[in-house]
Amino acid sequence: MTNTATQTAKDVFLKTRTDTYALLAALLNQAPDADLLSQLQHIEWHASLPQRLINAWIGLRNAANTYPEHLIEKEFQSVFVGLGQGEVVPYASWYLEGLLMALPLARLRLDLIKLGITRRAEVHEPEDHAGLLCQTMALLGQRSDIPLQEYARFFDAHLASWMFDFFIDVQKAPHAGFYRSVAELGLFLLEWEQNYLSEHGPAKVH
């Protein structure tokens, strides 16, 4: 493979990674509105992506064309909100400690301070919410001042430590339909990210 081809493949990876984290953030923070759902119904992807990731995109596009907006909203409430608690609890603290707003959140907040990232005043969820963590990864992926080692360490500590299990649980949630395809995309993105960092990152990623 030529250097030009290698650079092109890397550029495709980096852009796709950032865009996918941003999309996951939008879908995990709230149910998609009509505009986002329309975009998903016609979404396209780069042909050079791994086949498993392409299959996940196809699954998400098909789901967007299958489930109407009002049913996705009901599904979101059942899976993530519920009466007191949804079928899946989307917080790192819950997965790692069995509690809300526990030590994993405190450690995350320290790392976010070091990175100069602060939660917006209008955001009420704690920073270890799955959607906010995906949003953070999208931001970090666009910052040229973040060394790859630091990026890999953040991914290892705050995503790889629990989000694989989270997405698997979403796939198995009794009321998951549309969000089963979202979880599949999330799993393949984490796997792709993990493989990339294992090959290129100086930090060990489990």
Planar angle of CA 139, 160, 80, nearest 5 degrees: 80
In the structure, what pLDDT confidence band is assigned to residue 25 with cuts at 50, 70 and 90?
very high
Q: How many residues does the chain have?
A: 206
Query: Residue 179's closest CA among 191, 164, 190, 168?
Result: 168
What is the count of structural domains for the chain? 1
Within a domain: residue 50?
yes
pLDDT of residue 203: 46
Range of the domain at 117: 3-200
CATH number at residue 155: 1.10.3480.10
**Is the predicted pLDDT of residue 152 greater than 90, yes or no?**
yes
pLDDT of residue 2: 36
Global pTM? 0.92
Within a domain: residue 40?
yes
In the structure, what pLDDT confidence band is assigned to residue 1 with cuts at 50, 70 and 90?
very low
What CA–CA distance (Å, rounded) separates 151 from 160? Answer: 12
**Is the predicted pLDDT of residue 206 greater than 60, yes or no?**
no
pLDDT of residue 201: 62
**Is the predicted pLDDT of residue 186 greater than 90, yes or no?**
yes
Alpha-carbon distances, residue 53 vs 60, 81, 181 (angstroms): 11, 28, 11
pLDDT of residue 47: 87
φ, ψ of residue 32 to 5 degrees: the values are: -65, 140
**Is the predicted pLDDT of residue 4 greater than 80, yes or no?**
no
Give me the percent of the chain exceeding a pLDDT of 90.
80
Q: Is the dihedral of CA 118, 122, 128, 131 positive or negative?
A: negative
Residues 6+ apart with CB under 8 A from 147: none
Does residue 108 contact residue 116 with C-beta atoms inside 8 Å?
no
In this prediction, residues 56-69 reach a mean pLDDT of 97
Within a domain: residue 150?
yes
Within a domain: residue 206?
no
Query: Residue 34's closest CA among 64, 77, 79?
Result: 64
Within a domain: residue 205?
no
**Is the predicted pLDDT of residue 192 greater than 70, yes or no?**
yes
pLDDT of residue 7: 53
Query: Residue 163's closest CA among 135, 183, 141?
Result: 183
Return the higher-pLDDT residue of 122 and 182: 182
Average pLDDT, the chain: 91
